[in-house]
Amino acid sequence: MRNLIVNADDLAWTEGVNQGILEAHRRGLLTSASLIANGLAFASALDVARDNPELGVGVHLNLSNGPPTANPSLVRSLLNHSNEFAFHPQALFLRILTRQLNLNQVQLEWDAQIQKVRDSGIVPSHLDGHKHVHMLPALFPIAVQLAKKHSIRAIRISHEHTRLRVLLSGANQQNKALLMQTLQAYALRLLARDARAIAHRAGLATTDYFCGIAHTGVLTRQGVATLLKNLPDGTTEFMCHPGYADQDLRQSPTRLQQSRQTELDILTDPGLRKLVATTGIRLISYRFTGDTA
């Protein structure tokens, strides 16, 4: 059996992103999305989730952008002088190493993010992290603990499988961004090499395979078609970032602008939908992952 979770990160980032995710689900391959509790368009993201019960919705744990969900005075080590998150994963990793990041405050903030989603009536299907921050050493055990606390049964393991990365690349192997992001994917796998074992010991479900890091912003239809034709047995998560480049997106701190429209076009391509049907791939969300993989 070949199962595929097509998960869109950044639900609630902007209205345009929400609309793209909605269309990718209703007209395309998208089965799952990760909701940012402090996102600018959180209210309309809830409408997307509530009006589309077949869409699995997880919590996109965030320490990099926007205001905190917890009281700022209680999570001071996570914030800049404007009381907002402003640290990329590399900076957070250095702050962990130098003990400038208060791990109790991370737990408090992430707990508040999950609780906000739950209080809105959403039952999270899984946890993952904005910019994969949940995979950093010392932070992954916090995410696991919170998953158990909130009865969330699955968590993303951002270990990109080399073979799947090559399949997604197609003829795009020499793209500079792809090469740089491939190095980032390798580094992330090394930093969190025990993550899957930690999750399984805690009884959390994971997928067998994961892909999409190296191709963030440089996804092609040819690459997705090649992936679908050669998808391995088991359960794979394919991470993506569909959306529309509205004014809020253009003004936000993300390099993913027009690429979101490109990904939306790919995910709603009729030929790819037909390919999924003819190859016998089962499209699922994290709600349908096994006990462990």
pLDDT tens series, the chain, 293 aa:
999 999 999 999 999 999 999 999 999 999 999 999 999 999 999 999 999 999 999 999 999 999 999 999 999 999 999 999 988 888 999 999 999 999 999 999 999 999 999 999 999 999 999 999 999 999 999 999 999 999 999 999 999 988 898 888 865 555 666 777 777 777 777 777 899 999 999 999 999 999 998 887 788 999 999 999 999 999 999 999 999 988 877 777 777 667 889 999 999 999 999 999 999 999 999 998 754 34
* Domain locations along the chain: 2-288
CB 147 within 8 A of CB 202: yes
Numbers of helices and strands, H then E, in the chain: 12, 7
What is the length of the chain?
293
The highest-level CATH class for domain 2-288 is alpha beta
How big is the CA angle at 112 (ends 108 and 118), to the nearest 5 degrees? 145
Q: Tell me how far CA of residue 3 lies from CA of 33, 57, 58, 136, 189, in angstroms.
A: 16, 17, 18, 27, 23
Question: pTM for the full model?
Answer: 0.92
How big is the CA angle at 207 (ends 61 and 33), to the nearest 5 degrees? 45
